[in-house]
């Protein structure tokens, strides 16, 4: 099985070279054709980007990254999201704590400022 995996991804360096070449060609082409309509250049860049992404996904690291993205999508579906009421209660609690902390720091700053003004003169 290991030999099959290595055989499948054996020209990775060449694929990464093609990806880099596509990105450079897209960048240079976008600058070279700057007089063209923005929508035409944007569509061309999207097409070049999709081709580069397809080539990159067909490498060992690209395939591993794609598998990671699919696994993370499954994990996001497993998350138990809070209800609207829980979100509002937590937000209000955070706001109250922030306001209380701000008042404490304001009072401490005023007290220390007054004390140092008495000491310094």
Residues 90 and 46 in one domain: no
Q: What is the pLDDT of residues 86-117, one digit of tens each?
A: 999 999 999 999 999 999 999 999 999 999 99
Segment 68-80, tens digit of pLDDT? 999 999 999 999 9
Residue 52 shares a structural domain with residue 88 = no
- Could you tell me the CA-to-CA distances from 68 to 29, 37, 55, 73 in Å, in that order? 32, 37, 17, 9
Report pLDDT for 12: 87
Cα of first residue to Cα of last residue in the chain, in angstroms, is 82
Rounded CA separation 46/52 (Å): 10
Please count the structural domains in the chain.
2
Domain assignment of residue 100, given as a range: 83-121
* Domain co-membership, 23 together with 75: yes
75 shares a domain with 52: yes
The answer to whether 26 and 45 have CB atoms below 8 angstroms apart is yes
pTM attached to this predicted model = 0.57
Can you state the angle between helices 12-32 and 38-57, rounded to 10 degrees?
A: 170
């Amino acid at each position: 099985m290991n030999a099959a995996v290595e055989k499948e991804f054996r020209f990775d360096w060449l694929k990464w070279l093609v990806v880099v070449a596509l990105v450079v060609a897209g960048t240079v082409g976008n600058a070279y054709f700057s007089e063209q309509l923005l929508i035409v250049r944007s569509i061309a860049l999207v097409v070049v980007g999709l081709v580069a992404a397809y080539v990159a996904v067909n490498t060992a690291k690209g395939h591993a990254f794609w598998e990671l993205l699919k696994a993370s999508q499954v994990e996001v579906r497993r998350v138990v999201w809070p209800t609207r009421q829980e979100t509002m209660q937590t937000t209000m609690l955070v706001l109250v704590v922030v306001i209380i902390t701000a008042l404490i720091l304001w009072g401490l700053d005023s007290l220390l400022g007054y004390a140092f003004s008495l000491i310094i003169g």
